[in-house]
Structure 1
Amino acid sequence: MRNKTRVLIVEDNADLAENIFEFLGENEYELEYASGALTALHLLDSQSFDVIVLDIMLSGASGLDIARRLRKDMNDQTPIIFMTAMGAIENKEDGYSSGGDDYLVKPFDLRELALRIDALHRRRSRIDTVLRAGDVSFNPGTLEVHVEPRGKFRLSGLAAHIFEALIRSHPDFISYASLSARLWPEQGVDANTLRTHIWLLRKQLQEAYGMPMIKTLHGRGYILDVSGQ
């Protein structure tokens, strides 16, 4: 049996959302739903998904705004399929420039939506390479940390991107400046913000594996500790 593709559906039309859920649910997708921007952003910050299906016209903020925030502020590259009634080339330009990977004009056949979800998921899976450091591995596609023999733990949001940066840098450290630039490439953040995110990630790893796995090199940066201590 294949692993279920995790999909976030963001759509304020309840009837359409119900139809999508019914169709995809019958075809072995694992689904989450948000009817507005705030709920969508909360789910994206707390969970990880394989594909996001995102309406453009939403309450609170547009789908374009969500995509921009996801790409720039949260540094999340999860594939996005926009769905909207606006089919002009200018609208499509806005969708792709905001970070979208595909654009589906309403009304559409639900089978086509499923095909596009599968295509984006396959494309992403092909380019994902498992990163390893000692007994620790990280899959950028699934956002799963695997520590032998303790098992797997799934990260989300900035925590996943911090861990990826650390394991890519191993056995070297990554400087404060380099890590900040990777996480927030277009804006500066103060040191306290970065320290807070590191503390939260350490806490998750401690709870999952009984070890924080991240060491601070004072005045230099952070390094992934895979010694098991």
Structure 2
Amino acid sequence: METPDHILVVDDDLGLRELLDRYFVGHGYRVTTVANGRQMREALANHRIDLIVLDLMLPGDDGLTLCRNLRANQSYDIPILMLTARGDEADRIVGLEMGADDYLTKPFAPRELLARIRSVLRRAEMLPRNLAVSEKARLFRFGEWKLDTAGRCLVDAHETVVSLSGAEYRLLRVFLDHPHHVLNRDQLLDLTQGREAEVFDRSIDLLVSRLRQRLGDDAREPSYIKTVRSEGYVFAVSVEALQAPS
């Protein structure tokens, strides 16, 4: 029998924690609820967590800080769905750029949150098992570039640092983990964005174009990311994954 996915809810609203606990358990999930960043770190140290529901407004370290710290820590590549009472577009964008996988504004219906959680978990599990992410790699070397996974940035042959947006980083990680493997647009959209209400058919093409610009790749004759007609894209150069020191 499969072990149910384990959801960690981080929110300082006790009533909401209790409501989500009952609701998610009723739909077959394991649930742990905590009120702040310190308790979140304890839960992560003691449990295998499959997804974090993280409130933006928390006492002490806020949700953006916690999200950024989790994404900088290679031990935790856990999907994050961020909650906030704010409707500010800037907060949503910053949260996604920090590495959140989805975003929902309070108040919300538990059914909508559950649907988003299921979507995020599907994206996390959609790649075949032989396409696992290289979790322990600190640096990837390819062509004239290196990707620093801790700093989430590119470094060229002259040690010049090139910043990446959250979506650009996630797309490049997918390519670097699966070089010479054709990935279609639907896979790439789900793995890098996954917010169905906000994507459109060619948005992955725009993201690939932006990443090519970061890499200095000629769109007419690209060396790194090649277009495979009617199929998708393939990362066409060899990649060396360097392990982080133990």
Does residue 1:95 correspond to 2:95, yes or no? yes
Residue 67 of structure 1: aligned partner: 67
Residue by residue, what CA displacement relative to the aligned partner does 1:77-96 show, whole Å, maximum 9, x if unpaired? 21111111111111111111
**By how many angstroms is 1:73 displaced?**
2.8
Runs of 4+ that moved beyond 3 A: 181-184
Q: Tell me the matched-pair count.
A: 150
Give the whole-Å Cα distance in 1 for the aligned partners of 2:110 and 2:27: 11
Give the whole-Å Cα distance in 1 for the aligned partners of 2:126 and 2:149: 26
Residue by residue, what CA displacement relative to the aligned partner does 1:192-221 show, whole Å, maximum 9, x if unpaired? xxxxxxxxxxxxxxxxxxxxxxxxxxxxx8
TM-score norm. by structure 2 comes to 0.54
Does residue 1:78 correspond to 2:78, yes or no? yes
Q: Give the gaps of 5 or more residues in structure 2.
A: 141-145, 153-242
Instruction: Give the residue type in structure 1 aligned to 2:135.
Output: H
Give the whole-Å Cα distance in 2 for the aligned partners of 1:43 and 1:105: 24
Give the whole-Å Cα distance in 2 for the aligned partners of 1:183 and 1:18: 39
Residue by residue, what CA displacement relative to the aligned partner does 1:31-76 show, whole Å, maximum 9, x if unpaired? 1111111111222244332211000111120011111000013453
Does residue 1:161 correspond to 2:126, yes or no? no
**By how many angstroms is 1:9 displaced?**
0.4
Residue by residue, what CA displacement relative to the aligned partner does 1:131-172 show, whole Å, maximum 9, x if unpaired? 7xxxxxxx66xxxxxxxxxxxxxxxxxxx934xx5xxxxxxx
**By how many angstroms is 1:183 displaced?**
8.6
Q: Give the gaps of 5 or more residues in structure 1.
A: 132-138, 141-159, 166-176, 188-220, 223-229
Residue 126 of structure 2: aligned partner: 126
Instruction: Give the residue type in structure 2 aligned to 1:59.
Output: P
Residue 186 of structure 1: aligned partner: 151
How does 1:202-221 map onto structure 2 within 5 Å?
A: none
Q: Secondary structure at the match of 2:125?
A: helix
Residue 25 of structure 2: aligned partner: 25
Residue 198 of structure 1: aligned partner: none
